[in-house]
Structure 1
Amino acid sequence: MTTAPAAQGATIEVRDLTKTFGSFTAVDQLTFTVEPGRITGFLGPNGAGKTTTLRMLLGLVHQTSGTATIDGRAYGDIDHPQSMVGSALEATNFHPGRSGRDHLRVLAAAGGLPVSRVDELLELTGIPAAARKRAGEYSMGMRQRLGLAAALLGDPRVLILDEPSNGLDPEGIRWLRGFLRHLSSQGKTILVSSHQLQEVEQTVDDVVIISNGRLVREGAVSDLRGAPTTFVRTSDPAQLAGALRVADVMSSPGSDGELVVETADLRLVGDVALRAGLPVWELRARKHDLEALFFELTEGTNRNLGDGSSAPPAPTERDAVTGQEGANA
């Protein structure tokens, strides 16, 4: 993939980030980097610490230790934050009696942005027909789109989204994938949190996987998939393995009598078997189940009470002020 010019985006750097609430550690010495011009999936089970991390990155929660910077600065030190960072952490942060257009107009006025940007974003996010409808009457999917429009008002270099596909139907999810890909092609830095790898694997370039507040894997999605391989069944696997070695293709015995070949070229394997005079009973590319890998990486590390239920997430600083508990971490 060709990366868009880095000048259009800004690097997100999280270094040894830690947040504790009393004796509870929500985020534990977390370190990762999000590069411009790429979509990074921030993944982990519910309660893993994703939202708490994003809130620290946006200055909504004060970290216990470590740093979280955007373009080398803490969010509170950015002079014009709307033009640097756009975020959507909740799809319910709207005045229920205010129309979608008026909600965006208030935000635009507060940020000194032109009103023309409001209608542009309503059109871009696909909700112009609902612009005069009260936000309290919006479906969850429409709220997600309105939140995305609000995040993009300042044409920010960085976009941070928390579970943006929640409430979207299959067509809406498909639209979101294409929309985020369009934004990343402009060089924007995009960080998207989710608790389902399968949900984002068709969209993201890189992943940061956390569990129990700690990093368990970081890297490109292509690296998670591993080397391409092929399964083949024949009457004499050992003979076929020898013929493949002659063709400079390595293989190894599978768990059920098949041969696992280190190539994705099905035609090559078939041609080698044909030259060796061996019948091919089965020949297929091996599909890597990234969702299974996600559960393998996080299994047994997420907080639980020993009876299969998850431990309640720690209250955030905002919850301490409002008196609410159990904000999603």
Structure 2
Amino acid sequence: MRTTGCEDGGRGPASTGKLTQMSATADGGRIEITDLTKRFGDFVAVDNLSFSVAPGRVTGFLGPNGAGKTTTLRILLGLVKPTAGTATIGGVSYAGISTPLTTVGSALEATNFHPGRSGRDHLRVLAATAGIPDSRVDEMLELVGIPAAARQRAGGYSMGMRQRLGLAAAMLGDPQVLILDEPANGLDPEGIRWLRGFLRSLAAQGRTILVSSHMLQEVEQTVDDVVIISNGRLVRAGTIESLHGPVTALVRTSDPGRLAGALRVADVTSTPGADGNSLSVQTDDLRLIGDVALRAGLPIWQLQPQASDLEELFFALTEGQNRNLGDGTAPQEQDAIAGQDGGNEK
């Protein structure tokens, strides 16, 4: 499997090389989270969580800061032991994957490197552990757009460059599955646009892409599916289209009541707007609305499709007290995120 690059301000990425992709199992790297729970003492970081991530799609893993996203990803990658439930990739746990670097690529932190080592040397060390040639390292540096900084010390990288270096490391083994935690943090608008195109191209090749974020707006233009959690619990899962709900139309006219009556004759339902000059019409057929208004002799001041505001929906689904922030139990979860998963589990 090869990866083609995406437009990013003229930085022409190369293919991902001649490595042969090694899938997790025959089902193509599908991620399954089943009844997953993680406790630290009396604190529940992940609470009976279940969802799946299909190959060939970009799935956004969403929730406010402290919702349990990173803990879930660390369990999936074998870095934290669950209290109950399972997290599998291609039907097996991460520990059961014989060649993890060539099966699963991940980037959970943008600081997971030696600050005194160059970006290229950081990737060369990782590549050597899996028998990946140095030529692949150079391809990845070109792919993510930082070849000019390859020999600079990574400790001097900007946050955006660190994100790109982490992505290069995740892609070293040409993996079937890619797991990224807040990958857009620190990227400029050009970089975010590049990242969107890059992830879409990987999904088009049949890879499994799971991307966490605390803001739905960041990933709305990228993802196919969304999983939203709050306080470690699932609150919504489905396609991005299902979150939008049915498409309606906003129409403004001089006599909304008269237009509503004409629309009823055409078997179209509408509700009055709060401003007294508009209707929300239960159809996405703008031409039909225009034709009905024309026959009724009414002027149209505004006519446009409308969908639910995803950012407002996100906050509505996740509103309420965030038990993972601002109380005495939060440091326990932070210990887990740092990899200090000792003794508190029950």
TM over 0.5: yes
Map of 2:256 onto structure 1: 237
Rounded to whole Å, the distance in 2 between the matches of 1:282 and 1:181 is 34
| Larger mean Cα displacement after TM superposition, 284-293 or 71-80 | 284-293
Per-residue deviation, 1:231: 1.6
TM-score, with structure 2 as normaliser: 0.86
Q: Is the 8 A contact 2:71 2:337 kept in 1?
A: no
Distance 2:26 2:299 in 1: 56
Q: Residue 326 of structure 1 aligns with which residue?
A: none
| Closer/same/farther in 2, CA of residues 243 and 96 from structure 1, 3 Å limit | same
Question: What is the DSSP-based 3-state SS (H/G/I as helix, E as strand, rest coil) of the residue aligned with 2:117?
Answer: coil
Q: Partner letter of residue 309 of structure 2? A: D
Q: Which residue of 1 aligns with 2:313?
A: 293
- With over 3 angstroms needed to count, the CA separation of the structure-2 counterparts of 1:179 and 1:114, relative to structure 1, is same
Q: Which runs of 5+ in 1 are unaligned?
A: 1-5, 324-329
Query: 1:303–1:321: structure 2 CA closer, same or farther, 3 Å change rule?
Result: closer
Distance 2:289 2:241 in 1: 23
Secondary structure of the structure 2 residue equivalent to 1:79: coil
Structure 1 stretch displaced more, 110-119 or 67-76: 110-119
Conserved 8 A contact 1:7-1:187:
no
Deviation at 1:286, TM superposition (A): 2.0
One-letter amino acid matched to 2:270: S
The residue that corresponds to 1:271 in the other structure is 291
SS at match of 1:315: helix
Post-superposition CA distance 1:254-303 (Å, at most 9, x none): 34433211122333212211111223343332243111110011011522
3-state SS, counterpart of residue 55 of structure 1: helix
Distance 1:30 1:136 in 2: 37
What 5-or-longer segments of structure 2 have no aligned partner?
1-24
Residues 9-68 of structure 1: CA distance to partner in whole angstroms, max 9, x if unpaired? 411000000000000000000000000000000000000000000000000000000000
Correspondence 1:218-229 to 2 at 5 A: 218-229=237-248
Counterpart Cα distance in 2 of 1:248 and 1:184: 41
Maintained 8 Å contact 1:211/1:301: no
Question: Contact 1:231–1:283 at 8 Å: present in 2 too?
Answer: yes
Contact 1:26 1:49 in 2 (8 A): yes
Q: How many residues align structurally?
A: 315
Matched residue, 2:6: none
Secondary structure of the residue aligned to 1:193 is strand
Q: C-alpha distance in 2, partners of 1:18/1:281?
A: 53
Which residue of the other structure, out of 202, 209, 227, is the alignment partner of 2:221? 202
Amino acid of the structure 2 residue aligned with 1:284:
Q
Equivalent position amino acid for 1:290 in 2: L
* 1:8 CA displacement: 9.0
| Alpha carbons 2:29, 2:55 under 8 Å: kept | yes
C-alpha distance in 1, partners of 2:341/2:68? Answer: 20
2:282 to 257, 262, 266: 262
* Aligned twin of 2:300: 280
CA distance in 2, matches of 1:268, 1:24: 55
Give 3-state SS (helix, strand or coil) of 2:59's partner.
Answer: strand
Shift of the 168–320 alpha-carbon distance from structure 1 to 2, 3 Å rule, reads closer
Q: In the alignment, what sits opposite 2:97?
A: 78
* Identical positions, percent: 72
Give the aligned residue type for 2:72: T
Matched, 1:59 2:78: yes
CA RMSD of aligned residues (A): 2.1
Q: Distance in 1 between matches of 2:307 and 2:163?
A: 32
